[in-house]
Amino acid sequence: MVITVDIIILIFMILGALWAVMTRSLLRSAIALAFTSAVLSVLMFKLNAPLAAVFELSVCTGLISVLFISTISLTHPLTWEEIFQHMRERHKRFKYLPFIIVAVGIGLSMVSVKLNLPLPAPETNNDMRIVLWNLRRLDVIGQVVILLCGVFGVVILFKDEDKK
Amino acid sequence: MNPQVLGIFWPFGVFMIMLSVIGIYCMLLTYNLVRVLIGLELLIKAATLLVLTVGYCNGHIAQAQALVVTFIVIEVVVMTVAVGVVLGIRSHNGSLDVRKIRNLKG
């Protein structure tokens, strides 16, 4: 029963991803991506990962959608003529995608996998905060460094050229 | 691997591969730079789902969560810088179409 609910949620996630890729409006595409992220965060809750789910919901669904929507609003909209031409081109390129996805899904679900990998010892520490701050301290330092790199990168990219 | 664990992992694995195929297809066939970023985002989501599922099946969900939080931070930074690059390309070339970006041709 539980796995059936999971599969229904997974199907919703794939439908959201297909909508994000196949819709012709960029704005709808960004909204579909946010929907996919939201469904993924529900899956994370179901996989006993509530903190990762909250991060996914707030950051990926919220912040990245805002980023994409701001980018789309900063670029100029297409004319109607360009939109119709673009629609025809897109339809030609993307019409095979749903069939490919269905074929991949059916093909993979028919494969019987037999992995004989030994499972590691069960986890002794179940608290994610202790793991992140004590066992994976280097990851936190790496996150800080990457955030600083991103901030400096954006500052350089949007530097005012008039000052030169 | 325990058949019961494999029974949990394999449905998630199938959908993870389908999500990866959608992301790769989008990145390969689109001409719009924003859509390339959307494809990249879908690929990152597939990787996130894989890490969490493996952590759940192995019983190491706390380590998987810590790794996913790191993934999300890196994802946001990559997307922010990529959006900045896309906006810079648009201001230089006047278009987001990859076919019109010929500055480095040859």
**What ipTM was assigned to the predicted interfaces of this complex?**
0.90
Please check the confidence at residue B29 and state whether its pLDDT lies above 60: yes
pTM for this predicted structure = 0.87
Structure confidence by residue, pLDDT tens digits, B45-103: 999 999 999 888 888 888 889 899 999 999 999 999 999 999 888 888 888 888 888 77
Position A117 scores a pLDDT of 66
Best CA proximity match to B51, nearest among B83, B74, B27: B74
Q: Could you give the CA distance from residue B42 to residue B75 in angstroms, rounded to a whole number?
A: 11
Each residue's pLDDT tens digit, A25-80: 888 999 999 999 999 999 999 988 899 999 999 998 999 999 999 988 888 766 67
Task: Report the candidate in B25, B13, B9, B63 with the shortest Cα–Cα distance to residue A95.
Answer: B25
Q: What is the mean predicted confidence (pLDDT) over B6-15?
A: 83
Interchain CB distance below 8 Å, B86 and A43: no
Nearest-CB residue to B66 (from A30, A104, A132): A132
As a whole number of angstroms, the distance between CA A141 and CA A136 comes to: 9
Nearest-CB residue to B81 (from A43, A125, A150) = A150
Number of domains in chain B: 1
| Cβ–Cβ below 8 Å for B84 and A154 | yes
From chain A, the residues in CB contact with B53 under 8 A are: 47
| CATH code assigned at B74 | 1.10.287.3510
Is A36 within 8 Å of B42 when comparing Cβ atoms?
yes
Tokens of A39: 């469904």
Nearest C-alpha in A relative to B69: A52
Q: What is the pLDDT of residue A118?
A: 67
Host domain of residue B25:
3-103
